[in-house]
Structure 1
Amino acid sequence: MPQRWIRWPRPTGLAYGADYNPEQWPEEVWHEDVRLMREAGVNMVSVGIFSWARLQPAPDRWNFGWLDRVLDLLHEGGVAVDLATATASPPPWLTHAHPEILPVDHEGRRLHHGGRQAWCPSSPVYREHALRLTEEMAVRYGGHPALALWHVSNELGCHNARCHCDVSAAAFRVWLRERHTTLDGLNAAWSTDFWSQVYSDWEEILPPRLAASYVNPTQQLDFARFCSDALRDQLRAERDVLRRVTPDVPVTTNFMIMGESRNMDYASWAGEVDLVSNDHYPVRARERPEIELAFSADLTRGVAGGAPWLLMEHATGAVNWQPVNVARPAGAMRLGSLAHVARGADGACFFQWRASRAGAEKYHSGMVPHAGTRSKIWREVVGLGRDLGALAEIAGSRVVSEVAMVFDWEAWWAAELDSHPSDRIRYRELALGWYEALWRAGVSVDVVPPGTALDGYRLVLAPTLHLTTDETNRRLAGHVEAGGHLLTTYFSGIVDENDHVRLGGYPGAFRDLLGVRTEEFFPLLPGATVTVHTEAAGPAWTATEWTELLETSTATAVARYADGPLAGVPAVTVNSHGAGRAWYVATRLDPGAVDALLARVLAEAGAGPVAETTPGLEVVRRRGPASDYLFALNHSAAPGWLRAGGTDLLTGTEHAPDGWIEVPATDLVVLRVPRP
C-alpha cells in the first residue's frame, strides 16, 4: 500500500490549488495569477499536464524557457508545484510521424488526433518518446525549489483504456503467456471447448474484437485485466525514471474513482505511487450527489489503505461534459470540497485555475471564472482557502470506521458481462444503494478492496460480489468465524477468477457460510415487483430486479416472498457461523426496507452512527495523534443538530461536551475533540 509522502517541503497543512495552464495565457497574466493565488490561499498548483507540444515542438527541439519562468515565479510567490511529466497527450508531430501509436476500437476503427490521449497503452513507440520527455523533465526540474510532487501523465485511461490494435494484440498474448503459462492452461481457463474455440497457437489469439455473437466471457475478462495492467505499466515506467533521477521526490497520478469509471483496477495501482490522488466530478442529475461523492471518497481512501490522499481535481461550478451542465448553488462547492477532506483527503484542488477562453473545456468552471474576481465563484474560492487554512492541523489524521464494504473491480467487470440472467445488474449502483443506507444512518464506512485485512470491523458488507477468489472467500469466512458480521447480496460468490460457475448450487463460494442453497435464479422483468414480509411484525417490503429459489440449511429466514412465483420462499436469511453471523439478501429491496434491515444488522453487530444527530447530517470522524476531528455537514435547506463538544476549528467557538450544536443549512461544523 502507498506510504506517506517521502518529501513534502510545502505546502504545510492541507493542499489547496488547481491545474495551472499558463501556456494558454499571455505572459503578462502570470504575475496576476500568482498575486491572486496568494489572495485565495493557494499553496500548490499542478503544472505542465498538457504541455508536451509546447515543451517539445519537434522531435529534436526543446522549449523549456517558458516553464522555467513559470516555476521561478510560483516559487517566488510561495506556491509549490505538482509537476506533470506532460505525457498525457502526444503532440501532432508524433502521431503524424507514427500513426501506429493511435488507438483502435473493438470494431477495428483507428482513432485520430484532435482530442486527447491519442495513444495506445501498449505502443513501444509512444513509450520511448514519453520516457524521453519524462527524463528531460526530471533532469531539468528535479532540483527546482518549487517542486513538491511529480504527477505522472493525467487520468490514465480516461479515453484510451482499451485499444484493440495489432500491437495491443501482441502485447495481450505476452500477458496471457505470463498468466496462463501454456496454451492448455489458457484453453482450460477460457473453456474454449465451448463453441469450438480451442487455440493451437498463441498467434491465433486476438483481443475481443467485434464478432458475430457473444465473445468468450473469460477472454473479455482477461482483456479487461490486461488493459488495466498495460496502463499501470506506463505509470510504472514513468515513475521509475522519476525515482531514478529524483529519488526523494514523491510521485502520484490522478485516479478517476467516480461514476462509471470502471476500466482501471485502482486497487492494483495504489502501491505504485507514493500518494494516492483522485479526481471527482458528481453527476449533477443525481438526486443526492453528495452521497455518491462520499462513496467515491471512501473508496479512494480504501484504495489508499486508509492513508490520507489528495483530491487532485474537482469543479468550482459547472463542468462541460454532462448533457446539462448544472451550476453549483452557493455553498455547494465549499461543502463538496470539505466533504472530501472529512473523508481523508489532505487537500482539495480543482480543474482548473483560470477557466479557458478557448478549446473543448472552455465552459468548464475554474477558480478564476470567465467573469473574473467579481463573481460568486471567486468569493467562494477565497473563503474556501481560509477554511482549509483553519483546518491545517488535521493533515495526516485518518478516518475511523467500524463498518467496511468490499468493492472489487474484477467483480464489477465480471458481474456486467453479457449473457447473464439479467442485464440490469449494475455493480457500482448496487453497492452505492447499500452505502446510501449507511450514509442515512450516519454510519462511517471504509470502502475497501477484497485483499484488505478485516479485523477490527464489526460489520462487513459485500454486495453482489459476483466473482471471488478462494483467498477472498477465506478472508470473509474468517471474519465471521472470529465474531464479525457479514452481509452479502444476490449474484455473489457465483464464479471464480476465470468466470467459471462454482457448482453445487448458488451462491457457490458462500453456501456454507450463509447456510443457504439456491437452485435457480428468478430475475424479474423491468417494472415487476414482489412483496416481502418479515418474520417479525412490521410493514411489508417491496423488492425488484431479482429473486431466487432459495432453501435454508442452517440459516434462519428473516423475510419471505409474499407473492409472485416464489411465494413463501426465503428472501432474507441470517446464519450463525463460528462466533459471528452472516446475512444474505436474495433480492433487491426498496430503500426503506434496506434501512430497516440494516438497522437490525447494525444493532446486532454493535456498530452505530459516528455521533448523535438529527436526521440528514453527514458526520465523519478523523483521528489524529492527540485529538479527533468531527465533521458535521448539512446539505439540506434546514438547520440540523449535532450532539458533541469541542472546539469549532472554523469559528473558534468552544462547545461543552454532550451539548447540542446547530449546523446551519448548507453549512458545516468541524470540531477538535481531545481524546483522554
Structure 2
Amino acid sequence: MTRELSVEGIAYGGDYNPEQWPEEVWAEDVRLMREAGVNMVSVNIFAWALLEPREGEYDFSRLDRILALLHENDIAADLATPTAAPPAWFFRAHPEALPVDRDGRGLSYGSRQTFCPSSPAYREAALRITGELARRYADHPAVVMWHIHNEYGCHNAECHCDESAAAFRRWLRAKYDDDLAALNDAWGTTFWSQWYYDWDEIIPPRPTGAVPNPTHQLDWRRFCSDALLSLYEAEREVLQEAAPATPATTNFMVMYNFDALDYWRWAPKLDLVSNDHYLQSADPESQIDVALSGDLVRSLAGGPWLLMEHSTGAVNWQPVNRAKGPGELRRNALAHVARGADGIAYFQWRAAKAGAEQWHSAMLPHAGTDSQIWRDVVRLGADLRALAEVRGSVGTAEVAVVWDWDARWAMELPSQPSAELRFQDLVRAWYEPLWRAGVAVDFVRPDADLSAYRVVLAPSLYLVDDEGAANLVSFAAGGGTLAVGFHSGAVDENCHVRLGGYPGAFREALGVRTDELFPLLPGETVGLSGGGTGALWSERVRLAGAEPVESYTTGPLAGAPAVTRNSLGEGTTWYLATQPDPATLAALLDRIRTEAAVEPVRTTPQGVEAALRRGPDADYLFLINHTDRDAEVPVSAHATELLTGRPADGSVAVAAGDVAVVREPRGD
C-alpha cells in the first residue's frame, strides 16, 4: 500500500510541546501558527509520563484537547509515540531496563533514551502505550502521520548489559546460521587465542587489555543498529494494524557527528523518510554540510523526504552555540527544499523556559514575536506556500558517491594504518568541489543500480564485499567512470584483508598494485608533480596497466604514481593514492566528470549554490547566494521566479545572501 502525507504543498511546522505550557497559551500558539503559515506539527514526542501516570492507567484528555484544537485550526498532526522517554515509574519498576555503558557503569534515568534497546520490559511497555495511541487516534481527522519514537540511538545506540549480551548472541546465531565455526572463521579467532567453543562465551566488545577483535566490533555495530530497528518495526506493526493507510516515519540523524545506525537498512522500512539536521558552529561553510546531508537523505528516500528538525538559530549542545546570521535561517531551509525536502520543520515551536533545552532556539523565541527569528519564520512560511508546486519533484544527478556505513565503521576502528582518517571528512572533501561547481550528486550503496550515472566516486570504501566490488567494477567496464580513493577495497565484509596487494578488491580494475602503505603524519604533506600537495596518505604504487596522472615529488616515494587513470572495458577508472589539496582535487574531479560529459546544473558566479528539482512539466532551479555580492544567473526563456512571482526571461538576479527559485518550463 502506498501511504502518502495528506498535507497540501510543502509541510511546514515543528515539534509542538504544549504540555510544557499552561493551557491558556495554546490558543495563542495556534493563532501564531496560522500567521506563520504552519500546516503540520509533531506532537506527543515526550509526553509518556503524562499519558500513563501509572502503569496501565491512561489519561488522554490533554492530548484529545490538543488534537481537537489543531484540527479546528486546519493544522495537521504528526502524532508521535512517546517511547523515547519512559517515565520514572517505569524504571523504578524495571531497573534492569536501564542501560549499561561500555565501562560497565549502570546509567540512571532522568533524561531521555535512558533504556536498553534489548530490554523485554521496555519493549512491552513501549508497545503497550503505542497500542493505546493507535486504537484511540487511528481515525482522528487531525492525524496525518505517525512519528515513531524520536532520533533512535541518539543517546543509547549501545548498551553493554547482560540482556544486550544475550540479544547479541541471538543475533549472531541467526547471522551465522547457528554455526559457531562459521563465526570463528569470520572473526579470525585463531588470532590471540580468541576461539569460542560455546555461544555463551561471547560478550559485547567491552574494554579489555589490548585492541578488541575488529570483526567482533563491526558485528556489534551491526547488531546495535538492528536492535533499534527491531523496536521501530515492532511499533510500526502496531500502528499499521490500527491505521493501515496512515504513513509512518522516524527521524533520522544524517549529520556530521552521528554514525550509529545503518540507514540503508532502515530507509525501506519507512513510508516517508525524514531527517534531523543541525549545523556545526565550528564549520565556516556549514552550507556544504546542509547540501551533503540533503543529497544523502534524498538518496536514502529514493525521492522527496521530510526535514523533521533543524534550528531557527543556536542549538544548546555544542561548546559554543552560535546564532544564525542574517538570512541564514531562510537559506538553510530552502537549501533543504532544493535537495528534495517536501517538508520543513524545526525543533521546536515555542522556546522552552525550563529543562535541558531551554537555550535551544525555536520558531517562537523567548523574545516573542518582536524578534528577527519570528519575522524570518513568517517570511519562510510565505516562501514555502509559493513553492507548493515543487512538492514531489525529484533530482537529476549523473554523479553518484558511494556511502556505506559498514565501511565507515570498519575504517574508524582502532589499529588502522592511520588514526587520522575520518570517513565523512574524506567524502566531504570529494563532495565539496562538485557542490561548488553545481554538479548534482546522489549517494549510493556499493551494490546499488548504477545505470542512471555516468560517474561513480568512491572516496572512502575501506570495506567492501565481493558483490559490491563487482558491481562497481562492472559499472566501469560497461562504459562508466569509476574513481576510487586510497585505502579502499582493503578488506572484505568480515574485515579480512584482501591479499595480493592493495587496493585489494579494485586492484585489477584500477590497473595498479601497492605493496606498502606510507600514511602521513598530522600536518605532513608530500609534493605532487602538478604543483599541488597530498596529505593524510601515500603508498608505493606500481603501474599494472594504468597511466600516471600525478606523481609524488617529495618524500620516500618521490617518482612513484600518486594519481592514476586506467581504461577498463568500455570505461575508465581512476585511483587517488593520496588526499590532494583542495585545488588539485577540484581540478582532478573537474577533469573526471568533464571527460564523462557531466555538466553542472547551471554555471553560476562563485559562492552561488545551484540545485535542480525536476517536475513533470518543468524544472525548478534553486539559486542560493552565500556571498555578500549580488549575482546574475542565466535561466531559460519564459521562466518565472516563484518566490516573487516575477518573470525571469533569460536571467534572474539573486541579491547578496538571498535565494531565487526559478520555474523553467520543459522544452524551453
Contact 2:98 2:106 in 1 (8 A): yes
The answer on 1:445 being equivalent to 2:438 is no
The answer on 1:175 being equivalent to 2:156 is no
Give the SS at the match of 1:437. Answer: helix
Q: 2:271 aligns with which of 264, 268, 274?
A: 274
Equivalent residue, structure 1, for 2:658 = 667
Equivalent residue, structure 1, for 2:214 = 217
Shift of 1:47: 0.2
Q: 1:611 aligns with which of 582, 595, 602?
A: 602
The answer on 1:651 being equivalent to 2:644 is yes
Q: 1:576 aligns with which of 539, 554, 567?
A: 567
Shift of 1:452: 2.2
Matched to 2:515, the amino acid is: E
Contact 1:616 1:640 in 2 (8 A): no
- 1:224-373 aligned within 5 A: 224-305=221-302, 307-373=303-369
Shift of 1:60: 2.4
Shift of 1:565: 0.3
- 1:62-101 aligned within 5 A: 62-101=58-97
Shift of 1:492: 0.2
CA deviations over 1:604-636 (Å, ceiling 9, x no partner): 111121112112211111011111101011111
TM-score (ref. length: structure 1) = 0.97
TM-score (ref. length: structure 2) = 0.99
Give the whole-Å Cα distance in 2 for the aligned partners of 1:294 and 1:111: 36
Give the whole-Å Cα distance in 2 for the aligned partners of 1:64 and 1:603: 60
Equivalent residue, structure 2, for 1:123 = 119
- 1:464-483 aligned within 5 A: 464-483=460-479
Shift of 1:183: 0.7
Give the whole-Å Cα distance in 2 for the aligned partners of 1:453 and 1:201: 40
Contact 2:446 2:469 in 1 (8 A): no
Structure 1 alignment gaps of length 5 or more: 535-539
Shift of 1:198: 0.3
Give the whole-Å Cα distance in 2 for the aligned partners of 1:8 and 1:171: 35
Equivalent residue, structure 2, for 1:525 = 521
Shift of 1:638: 1.2
Give the whole-Å Cα distance in 2 for the aligned partners of 1:343 and 1:545: 31
Structure 2 alignment gaps of length 5 or more: none
Contact 2:437 2:603 in 1 (8 A): no
The answer on 1:428 being equivalent to 2:424 is yes
Give the whole-Å Cα distance in 2 for the aligned partners of 1:437 and 1:612: 13
CA deviations over 1:366-424 (Å, ceiling 9, x no partner): 10000000100000000000000000001000011111101001100001111111100
Equivalent residue, structure 2, for 1:602 = 593
Equivalent residue, structure 1, for 2:498 = 502
Give the whole-Å Cα distance in 2 for the aligned partners of 1:449 and 1:332: 32
Give the whole-Å Cα distance in 2 for the aligned partners of 1:496 and 1:642: 47
Give the SS at the match of 1:67. Answer: helix
Shift of 1:178: 0.9
Q: 2:619 aligns with which of 607, 619, 628?
A: 628
Q: 1:202 aligns with which of 190, 199, 202?
A: 199
Give the whole-Å Cα distance in 1 for the aligned partners of 2:4 and 2:250: 16
Give the whole-Å Cα distance in 2 for the aligned partners of 1:503 and 1:640: 53
Shift of 1:661: 2.2
Give the SS at the match of 1:420. Answer: coil
Contact 1:295 1:447 in 2 (8 A): no
CA deviations over 1:272-323 (Å, ceiling 9, x no partner): 1100000000102101000011001111111112x10000000001000010
Give the whole-Å Cα distance in 2 for the aligned partners of 1:7 and 1:341: 18
Give the SS at the match of 1:461. Answer: strand
Give the whole-Å Cα distance in 2 for the aligned partners of 1:669 and 1:448: 29
How many residues were matched structurally? 664
- 1:6-155 aligned within 5 A: 6-9=3-6, 11-155=7-151
CA deviations over 1:151-205 (Å, ceiling 9, x no partner): 0000000000011110000000000011112110000000000000000000000
CA deviations over 1:212-237 (Å, ceiling 9, x no partner): 11011100000000000000000000
The answer on 1:638 being equivalent to 2:629 is yes
Shift of 1:529: 1.0
Give the SS at the match of 2:86. Answer: coil
Identity rate of aligned residues, in percent?
Answer: 56
Give the SS at the match of 1:533. Answer: coil
Matched to 1:219, the amino acid is: H
Give the whole-Å Cα distance in 2 for the aligned partners of 1:545 and 1:283: 23
Contact 1:302 1:449 in 2 (8 A): no
Give the whole-Å Cα distance in 1 for the aligned partners of 2:585 and 2:219: 34
Give the whole-Å Cα distance in 2 for the aligned partners of 1:348 and 1:98: 38
Shift of 1:450: 2.5
Contact 2:394 2:614 in 1 (8 A): yes
Give the whole-Å Cα distance in 2 for the aligned partners of 1:268 and 1:8: 22
Shift of 1:577: 0.3
CA deviations over 1:27-56 (Å, ceiling 9, x no partner): 000011000000000000000000000110
Contact 2:490 2:505 in 1 (8 A): yes
Give the whole-Å Cα distance in 2 for the aligned partners of 1:13 and 1:366: 23
Contact 2:484 2:575 in 1 (8 A): yes
Give the SS at the match of 1:670. Answer: strand
Give the whole-Å Cα distance in 1 for the aligned partners of 2:274 and 2:447: 20
The alignment yields a C-alpha RMSD, in angstroms, of: 0.9
Matched to 1:584, the amino acid is: Y
Equivalent residue, structure 2, for 1:537 = none
CA deviations over 1:545-592 (Å, ceiling 9, x no partner): 100011011100001000100000000001100111000000011101
Shift of 1:447: 1.8
The answer on 1:556 being equivalent to 2:547 is yes
Matched to 1:197, the amino acid is: Q
Equivalent residue, structure 1, for 2:160 = 164
